[in-house]
Chains A and B, each alone.
Chain A
Amino acid sequence: MECDGARDALLDEVLGGESLREATEAHLAECLSCRDEALEIARTADRIRRTLAPERARNPHLAIPRFKRRFPVSAALLAVAAGAAWLLWPRPAAPPPIAAPEGLLLRIEDGDIRLSRAAAPPPPSLGGIRFVPTQYRELRVETSGTLRCQGTVRCDTVAVSAPMVRIRGDRLVVRDVFAVSSGSAELQVREVYCRSLQGTVTAGNTATAGSGIRVPRGTTLRIAHPQTCVDLEIESGGRVVLDPGGELVVKGRFVNHGEIAWR
């Protein structure tokens, strides 16, 4: 075996080709430069292996759809099948709401995501998406792709394959809504945050928390979190000052005869 052949064989062995170890070793025993080459190839392979070690350790655990096929489905009919499956899948006429810890309810139903308020205080913010507190707030989403639910807010997946929902930036992305399984999954929302402050900012009033916020003229009402939502009335002479980056998310009544300022 010549040097070229030996080096090619060394590479093949590292890269998944046929092993010609015996022939290679015979050559290496006689050729110092190929021994160096072999060492360097081994070092490079080792470095690549170490780099990819986390991936080697990872097991993707892909979920298997639970939809029961009753007839052949071609790829071209995929979307139709998914739609039909939604219709065919047995589900309660009105799925009961599931209260989320933060008072949020996310329900995936017929390809839409519905966010609604659970028992106690209010939803309006979900990963940057704000909802006014109507009974149900529909968020229409694209229905191709994958959904993953993780985390803290319950997500009632009426019929979703591998229930996956993700939030990307300020968008809730829901994809691949196949009628496959029922059940619930968890949705992680980084900032579900809404302190509902209700009250009136009236000139000359004293501030009290709880039933309402009344602040004397010139008093600063700090919005503790950018996504705090407030239901208030600013009367003439009243003034609300927001911290930098703060935004006033008003749900329900909002009357402003006064002033809103940013610090």
Chain B
Amino acid sequence: MKSDEDLVREAQGGSRAAFEEIVRRCEAPLYSIAMARLRNAEAAQEAAQQAVVQAFFSIRSLRDPAKLRAWLGRLVQNVCTDEGRRSMRPDPPARETGSVPELDEDLLAPLDPLQRTLVTLRFVNDFSYEETADWLDLPVNKVKWELHRAFETLRERMRRKT
């Protein structure tokens, strides 16, 4: 299997197949990050899609192919930030509930966006600390610390509920 770096170089050279493979590998975490940030399946799908389109048009600007995941992670987070700003306008777009279930707001509500993202990447994508750190371009220790805090928050919440 080709490494991410190889795929990036090929995609930068114009290989559509390489880009497709990148998307195939990365679409799930892209969606997860968007879902954790936007908490809406439809909006998350849109944001992830938009990140892919941006990546397609700008992959040649990625100087360090080893940083592909961090780069994609940043793209999708930026899209989510823009989307968040848009939805704070006076006339926010109506969120339609699609066929895709929403996250359990009740459970994840106390977490901040970063913690939600970490929890989602861990429990949806089964990412290790290192993989999560790669995607979010964070130090592993920061990932660990925030995940522990998030987990404790959730545990405390469940305790109180039961």
Contact = CB atoms under 8 A, between A and B. Distances in A.
A48 to B, nearest CB: 5
Contact of B120 (A45, A55, A72): A55
B124 interface: yes
Contacts of B58: 73-75, 78
Interface residues of A, number: 50
Interface in A136-188: 145-146, 148, 161-162, 164, 166, 168-169, 171, 173, 175-176, 178
Interface residues of B, number: 55
Contacts of A209: none
A16 interface: yes
B57 A48 contact: no
A67 B57 CA distance: 9
Interface string B79-105: 000000000000001101000110110
Contacts of A162: 49, 53
Interface stretch (A58-66, A99-107, A199-207, A224-232): A58-66
B45 A60 contact: yes
Nearest to A71: B60
Contacts of B48: 60, 62
Contacts of B23: 62, 64
A11 interface: yes
B61 A176 contact: no
B131 interface: yes
Given A60-B30, A162-B49, A164-B49, A74 B122 contact: no
A-B complex: 5 closest residue pairs judged by Cβ atoms? A168-B93, A60-B31, A54-B101, A169-B94, A75-B58
Interface of B: 14, 16, 19-20, 23, 27-28, 30-32, 35, 41-42, 44-50, 52-54, 56-58, 60-61, 93-94, 96, 100-101, 103-104, 107-108, 119-120, 122-124, 126-129, 131-132, 144, 147-148, 151, 154-155, 158
